[in-house]
Structure 1
């Protein structure tokens, strides 16, 4: 069966709408990306983007507190939201008969959320977020590793020096005025992409999107985001964390090129080969052969508006030995590069990840919003396998030799002697 085309339209208020038919199951995925995340926050108000994600479920002009979730649950929908460095995402997958309910709910909170922004709601959701921070970060073994690595890798004030969860002090300092200003600044239709994927008629879906979202005022243009410069580190930066943990652990971060570059494709493959699973070089060396670690993993967090980052995690009793072996493996990889079989497997893994995302209406809608928001082209989601396959072993070796240099990285250790 031939692939269905994308249907793209921009409403008069600036909202970009992307629609894709998929008649395999009688479902429709509604996915909205707003071009705002933690990198857009100001000093002293970290965590505001994530806090606002929570506030968006507390009602709006036409929806009472608690009713948003109740209506979707009654319709048999699955729904959620997430906040990252570069965007905030709201999504629901509904039986296609309830598509207009999902569109109405999203349009109502896009257009009228300040009507439900009360001090009580702010206080309640601030407590929810602070409790999330305690459970997932502060009171979790190694839970602050990523946050500490970002602060160690990037200078103070850099958009990626803090993570979306924010600090307790900044959450406490956030006011109702901060929230209403944040909404007015970033939650305008022109700073959003709406993707609809599923068992829909494109013309009818667009008409419904126009009917519900068209009346939302355009609002001001989003201000430019702060620059997020980055380059490879020239030295070793180490923070030793004195906390009680189950076992000593070693975490490393390497700045990488931005998403959308050929180098990030090569480095994604490099990290997959080095530490992507039980068949990786680091696992084979550290866990299987030398038995110096019980766990090891490496991967890439891609970021489009600034440097991406690579992360290596290893759990083992002797942190100094872990660091030395990591340097040895990076040096060998920089010299030899990957084998043909390793390259083929890395490309295949990238293709599997692409298929896993795009085989569901929920995943495909998210991919369309992602690429429309960060790259201006929703069709780019379909070219991911070609970009992955365009990288060869020489590209992977060269990129790794430059960006994953032994000894130059940010390191956070827990327990043991580094």
Structure 2
């Protein structure tokens, strides 16, 4: 690794030589607050390097502070990262780091329970936390005037969390984590894949041998004192990095950091963990029976660790073998119809990495995972024989460069990059270093790591098969986990908090400064003779261009017996052209670092283009070829059709997908195409022929109802010339069919979709409502719903998640499209509390309908909606989405100003009248996807008619 000894640059004179940017240099020369030491300042901007400017500081208590100035938008992103993840846990206490992530949102000494979410929401910000094996982070993006408030909040939970931890909060969050495991792991097809592989790959006791979410037995075992001891061991400032980016004043920010964080004493010393790559002495076959339709095989090889010299060549190897349509896995497994999906990846972590080869079997060809493993091995032999060619390296390196630049479009992306690099290497900006190490990879390097880590090496082979079909496994299981037998230590004594001496009153929340001025993106508008309306916005923050082309109609143009045709046609547009094969096109795009993607969903067929400015002309030439010269080959058609059908069959195992299918059917009726998924059903896709694809393309790929949005480093006046092939595209008009009548219900019923052995119950409570409008009743209904179910601290979520522990999350929303709308509330509930959860949601809706929101809730809503404007236009995609929204709903660019006037002037009485009108539970239908044998008895207690449906019917 290249070492940068900027820590030596500690005097003002030396600093001037260490920085190439006058503004940053001058800021750094000013007197720093006592107790804060400048470590380094770095700015390679203006050079030919891809870099993130930053200044790095250290507090006397060990806290590392990294600042990045970006004044392009009036917002800031704050990330506090602790060098603790599941790898720091003790055997028998798995899931603790993730558990603690939840506890950090439950209030601290000077911040009341649930107040953290409320404060950030009312500040117009976004927030969350994440945990993995190596670190835990907490982050907020807020308007720039809210920065001090965020620092006060983060410091309070760093220094004063234990003062607020109670047995009740501990028990509540333990249930929430269990619900999260049930929702995201146990009730999801293939949800336990990574956990099973880790158990077999790593020896017992290895920090990566258990998943971050942890085991239920371990969660049940620990006590509140165990949790407090874990906090005191790992959550000190000396084990943390706080990274702040955006529209900041460096010295003011440092003064706030000192005020709120400097008094917090350092925790116990934290030593770096030893690297722990593993090796196997034989192939380990394991089998997992799951509620899946498609068998899956995964081969996992142990490799190195993050930043090891062989990491980059292994990443390049994974891309060559299984990184999309240019890869050997695609050619041999997907294109030859043996697999629905096949990919290779090399996920790397701090202590160890692994090399994964995954294939999802195509039952049309074979469900025998042994055959699929043999095909993978044949593919490896082919790779070894043909070696690495020039394009392999060029496209991989171009893609890495493009993804790197795209990742720096947001302040959050830059801040996250700085934080992670600091944590794992001690050097915040490693962007150019990473690009250089990938650019230095040679064909010889790739072949060397292939022979060293993959060729004939021992591995874990996981087979995931449908329940009771173990004969489909790649081989008989020869590895079983040893029984978990250990003595987990327990903290019995009360854990006391460390006293902190302050010279100010921490109980007083900082007052935000004046609201920042937010500028709506300026754009040029032009209507072309062929029907295309174009909005273009020039922005030079990153050397990229984003293009969105929307053709109105999309799936609404499908006939009901061939639903999915628009989506199928879009998939075919992603395939071969008359001038280039699928693989040649994918190769050319990869060499440019560009993406062109056709898709169809909702009301539109959309073509999305992302390109670096330097490659825009070449990318547009490929777009022209794909748009006007599709090949529509029979072999592509048959492969995609088989894949689509198998994917649709697989989706029947996903409870959330089943719930969505039933909801649409109830709202719109089986006689309307809008009641069917945009991708169609098994029956409708089976009925589609290649001639149908060609017909759809000829009739509906036309600019007569098209909208075009361009955002990026462009000249707004000249971009139309580059897009002349679109603006001169001949138009053919067409009509979007009207809907047939929708169902009408006289009373509420429960529609129970039987999903045997489901571990949770997916619940949706629905009724038809208003289509989208920008300033009318639909917009006001969203304001009205905000306290009920539209934010984390909503009544529904606080009741079901925080108070009752029935779910990982519950919400309600008014969803409005151009012509249709609905109200929907719901949650994924604990099986044993299915009826209880439904009852609580209905009670919350009924209470809200009768009594409406409070003055405090009205004030909270107003603050949240008006403050959040600063976050709306940051990235090119944010700006493109805004412009696309204007075109979709034919809005004036001032509509946001009109919304703000409504938010500030609407009365509580008006919103409560709307609640009384739109929230009648007697008109709502209830959908439950769960194990009927286990939940029907509960549902009977609700006193409603129950209609039992089978999952196979959807």
TM-score tier, shorter chain, comes to over 0.9
Are 1:398 and 2:443 matched, yes or no?
no
CA contact (8 A) 1:159 1:228 kept: no
Q: Label 1:202 to 1:357 Cα distance change in 2 as closer, same or farther (>3 A).
A: same
- Residue deviations 1:101-157 (CA, integer Å, cap 9, x gap): 111111110010101111111111111111111111112111111111011011111
Correspondence 1:235-314 to 2 at 5 A: 235-288=282-335, 290-304=336-350, 306-314=351-359
Name the CA shift for 1:206/1:313 in 2 (closer, same or farther; >3 Å). Answer: same
1:70 aligns with 2:70: no
- Deviations 1:240-292, CA, capped at 9 Å, x for gaps: 1223311111122111111112210011111112112233220121011x211
Shift in CA distance, 160/334, structure 1 to aligned 2, threshold 3 Å: farther
Name the structure 1 match of 2:473.
417
Q: Deviations over 1:184-236 (max 9, x none)?
A: 000000000011111112222222211211111222212554x4522443421
Quote the residue 1:217 is aligned against.
265
**Superimposed CA distance per residue, residues 356-409 of structure 1 (whole angstroms, 9 cap, x where no aligned partner):** 322211011111111111111112244221121111121112112211224621
What's the TM-score, normalizing by structure 2? 0.43
In 2, are the aligned partners of 1:33 and 1:88 still within 8 Å (CA)?
yes
**How far has the Cα of 1:85 moved from its partner?**
0.8
**Contact (CA 8 Å) 2:275, 2:305: kept in 1 or not?**
no
Q: Quick check: 1:86 aligned with 2:116?
A: no
Tell me, yes or no, if the aligned pair for 2:94 and 2:219 is still in contact at 8 Å.
Answer: yes
1:329 offset after TM fit, Å? 1.8
Quick one: distance in 1 between partners of 2:271 and 2:114?
A: 32
Alignment partner, residue 194 of structure 1: 242
Q: 1:347 aligns with which of 393, 397, 401?
A: 397
1:7 corresponds to which of 36, 55, 60: 55
Aligned residue in 2 for 1:111: 159
Note the C-alpha offset of 1:98.
Answer: 0.7
- Aligned ranges 1:321-340 → 2 under 5 Å: 321-340=371-390
- The structure with the largest alpha-carbon Rg is 2
Count matched residues.
415
**Separation (CA, whole Å) in 2 of partners of 1:267 and 1:4:** 26
What is the root-mean-square deviation of aligned Cα atoms in Å?
1.6
1:371 paired residue number: 421
- How big is each residue's C-alpha offset from its partner over 1:44-85, in whole Å with a ceiling of 9 and x where there is no partner? 100000000011000011111110011111111111111111
Post-superposition shift, 1:298?
A: 1.6
Matched, 1:385 2:431: no
Query: Deviations for 1:292-329, whole angstroms, at most 9, x for unmatched residues?
Result: 1111122121112x211122221102211111111122
In the TM superposition, 1:176-195 aligns within 5 A as 176-195=224-243
**Structure 1 alignment gaps of length 5 or more:** none
Higher relative contact order by CA 8 Å / sep ≥ 6: 1 or 2? 1
Distance 1:403 1:71 in 2: 50
TM-score by length of structure 1 reads: 0.95
Query: Distance between the aligned counterparts of 1:155 and 1:270, measured in 2?
Result: 26
Distance 2:233 2:431 in 1: 28
Distance 1:58 1:230, change over 3 A: same
SS at match of 2:130: strand
Q: Which moved more, 1:339-348 or 1:42-51?
A: 339-348
Kept after mapping to 2: 8 A contact 1:368/1:379? yes
CA separation of 1:224/1:385 partners in 2, compared to 1, >3 Å: closer, same or farther?
closer
Deviation at 1:332, TM superposition (A): 2.9
What is the Cα deviation at residue 353 of structure 1?
A: 2.5
Equivalent residue for 1:128, pick from 169, 176, 201: 176
Distance in 2, Cα, partners of 1:406 & 1:292:
23
What SS does the aligned partner of 1:123 have? helix
- Flag the 1:189–1:148 CA change in 2: closer, same or farther, 3 A: same
Q: Distance in 2 between matches of 1:178 and 1:303?
A: 26
Which residue number in structure 1 is paired with residue 774 of structure 2? none
SS of equivalent residue, structure 1 residue 142: coil
Conserved? CA contact 2:159–2:264, under 8 Å: yes
Name the SS for the 1:311 alignment partner.
Answer: strand
How far is the alpha carbon of 1:37 from its aligned partner? 0.5
The answer to whether the 8 Å contact 1:371/1:381 transfers is no
SS in 1 for 2:178: helix
Q: Does 1:175 align with 2:223?
A: yes
Pick which of 171-180 and 348-357 moved more. 348-357
Query: Does structure 1 retain, via aligned residues, the 8 Å contact 2:277–2:305?
Result: no
Shift in CA distance, 49/95, structure 1 to aligned 2, threshold 3 Å: same
- Given that 1:298 and 1:310 are in contact with CA atoms closer than 8 Å, whether structure 2 keeps it comes out as yes
> 8 Å contact 1:278–1:284 — kept in the other structure?
yes
Match of 1:149 among 197, 201, 204: 197
